Structure 1
Amino acid sequence: MTAVLDQFMEFHSVHGTNVQLDPSRTRATRVESFANGVCFSKDPLSPGEIFLVEIEEKELGWCGHLRIGLTAHDPRTLDTVPEYSLPDLVEKGDSWVFAITRNHNKVTEDEGAEVEQPNEGNDTSNKPKTFFTDTHLYIENMGIPRDKLVGRSRPGRFSHILDDLYKTNALPPTARRSRIGVVYVPKGEGCANMHIVINGEDMGASAKRIPTNKPLYAVVDVFAATKCVRIVQVEYGFASLQTLCRKTIQKHIVHRMALDWLELPELLKHYCKYE
């Protein structure tokens, strides 16, 4: 089942004291220190709706990286925004946060735990990743359009090589331009599992049996070595004409840098290169 959702994602006006939002509220920058970088989604997420961010800037000298998750706390009801998502926000209860690391982000089932059978069409264990042909990433029975999930390098001489490294998750998830998202999928009556998605790959259920009796907001902690993130809008339902044009053009070129050789408007070239 594919979620049909089209809300424009923004960061909430309530955030950590060291966070600065751009006028569109889609870019969050930690302007000093390494903490007080906690942000929230403006609106609660729906089941199967991913809150996706791209790492835009990093800052050397700090230990730790982006943290992402969910909270049932309405940001407007918080007396103060916690300095850290881990452990401060989590210790308030009704919050589930996952710390992204350079390695070992994939969640494995405990030995002896019941292993769920994959849904039809979702058995990816014995077949290669098909980033170019699969239109959706399926988590349980929820489908997320794959088009925007994978990070892209800056256009340049070696960008065709770097793009392939993002697609196969060969680069560290904490690298610039990596795309990291959080989503929850229903699991029975009144509960859900939280999944982290890194460059188009599901990392597994990082939190299980989350109560869904309250609205769930995304949490993004712009922490330590992660200095700036921007929201990537994921299109559900019918794609825009702009997106359809981009997809058609990209089908017929070897690599996006080949756009420079085409007689196309500069704005369209820019959109195809960066998105």
Structure 2
Amino acid sequence: APGPRAHVRAAPPRPPRGPAGPPTCRLAVCFHHVHGTNVRLDASRTRATRVESFANGLCFSQEPLAPGQIFLVEIEEKELGWCGHLRVGLTAHDPQSLEVVPEYSLPDLVNMGDTWVFAITRSHNRVMVDGEEVRARGPPWEPFLLIEQVRIPRDTLVGRSRPGRYSHILDDLYKTNALPATARRSRIGVLYAPQPDGTADMHIVINGEDMGPSARHLPTSRPLYAVVDVFASTKSVRVIPVEYGFPSLQTLCRLVIQKHIVHRLAIDGLDLPPPLKSFCKHE
């Protein structure tokens, strides 16, 4: 029997999953500590910056995604002089098992198999299904984006400008998805939607618009991690947490405040706690 000074440390319990929808574990909304050699993560592991060159910018989600759970990032910084943009996708490879993180997601990681990556371009990111006609874009004020059986709050999916002299004009452009997908403040997400045959389709979402199934027949029997390649002209991205189900009290307060002001800069004059002001202006 162990002596009085010995201690047995039990493994910490895993956070519980809800009855339906994504897991409640916050680890799913940060980057994995395994990443490309040119990537630097901040202390929270929610911001990834490529510090040199244009390659070795591969990042992964900390945890595998649940069915229908979107891994959403916002483009924070751009770098001129390089050709190419952000790449996103899914992989069945556990980042911890990689002996060496590949230099590129395309083609290196994809060539390892069980990986599906989509290169984001300035336009024409829609994937047409066989026999499908171009669908009319849904009104930007619809509260939820529907992808088959997946239902995601649209407000978080749409990029927003920083407060400034012309930020209200930029916000209107983002809401109508008129700015390029590769622009600063664009929000790009990846998820997989289960299919009746037991496989899944991978979907890319850009500023609240579903680009369609960019890969089909993904195996749902294996954990799938999000892949974010901070490539070429994309310098820095940050993870955006997405609230499912009922919105938080903080989100409800923000919606009410924004509804009753003329411009977000007017928030500075309100008698509100500074963190709430920042949340209302920047998210």
Structure 2 residue 161 is the aligned partner of structure 1 residue 153: yes
Instruction: Structure 1: give runs of 5+ residues left out of the alignment.
Output: 117-123
Aligned mate of 1:83, from 91, 103, 108? 103
Q: Tell which has more relative contact order, 1 or 2 (C-alpha 8 A, sep 6+).
A: 1
1:259 is displaced (CA, Å) by: 1.9
Q: Distance in 2 between matches of 1:6 and 1:146?
A: 19
Partner of 1:97: 117
Partner of 1:24: 44
Q: Deviations over 1:37-79 (max 9, x none)?
A: 0000000000110000000001100000000000000001111
Aligned mate of 1:64, from 79, 84, 91? 84
User: 1:52 is paired with a residue of what secondary structure?
Assistant: strand
Q: Deviations over 1:132-164 (max 9, x none)?
A: 2x2210001110111210001111010000011
1:103 is displaced (CA, Å) by: 1.2
1:269 is displaced (CA, Å) by: 1.4
1:21 is displaced (CA, Å) by: 0.4
Structure 2 residue 147 is the aligned partner of structure 1 residue 139: yes
> Percent of pairs identical after alignment?
70
Partner of 2:138: 129
Q: Distance in 1 between matches of 2:219 and 2:23?
A: 21
Partner of 2:211: 203
Structure 2 residue 93 is the aligned partner of structure 1 residue 48: no
Q: Is the 8 A contact 1:187 1:193 kept in 2?
A: yes
Amino acid at match of 1:6: T
Instruction: Structure 2: give runs of 5+ residues left out of the alignment.
Output: 1-19
Residues 219 and 95 of structure 1, relative CA distance in 2, 3 Å threshold: same
Q: Distance in 2 between matches of 1:10 and 1:233?
A: 9
Q: Deviations over 1:168-198 (max 9, x none)?
A: 1111110001000001101123200000000
1:125 is displaced (CA, Å) by: 3.9
Amino acid at match of 1:202: D
Q: Distance in 1 between matches of 2:243 and 2:279?
A: 15
Quick check: which has more Rg, 1 or 2?
Answer: 2
CA RMSD of aligned residues (A): 1.7
Structure 2 residue 24 is the aligned partner of structure 1 residue 6: yes
1:209 is displaced (CA, Å) by: 1.2
Amino acid at match of 2:231: F
**Runs of 4+ with deviation above 6 angstroms:** none
Q: Distance in 1 between matches of 2:77 and 2:190?
A: 20
Q: Is the 8 A contact 2:22 2:66 kept in 1?
A: no
Partner of 1:120: none
Q: Is the 8 A contact 2:22 2:67 kept in 1?
A: no
**Equivalent residues, number:** 262
User: 2:99 is paired with a residue of what secondary structure?
Assistant: coil
Q: Is the 8 A contact 1:48 1:142 kept in 2?
A: yes
1:263 is displaced (CA, Å) by: 2.8
Deviating more after overlay: 162-171 vs 238-247:
238-247
Partner of 2:35: 15
Amino acid at match of 1:20: R
Amino acid at match of 1:7: C
Q: Distance in 2 between matches of 1:40 and 1:265?
A: 35
Partner of 2:202: 194
Aligned mate of 1:233, from 235, 241, 246? 241
Q: Distance in 1 between matches of 2:74 and 2:179?
A: 14
Q: Distance in 1 between matches of 2:246 and 2:172?
A: 27
Amino acid at match of 1:139: I
Amino acid at match of 2:140: F
Q: Is the 8 A contact 1:6 1:237 kept in 2?
A: no
Q: TM-score, normalised by structure 2?
A: 0.88
1:212 is displaced (CA, Å) by: 0.9
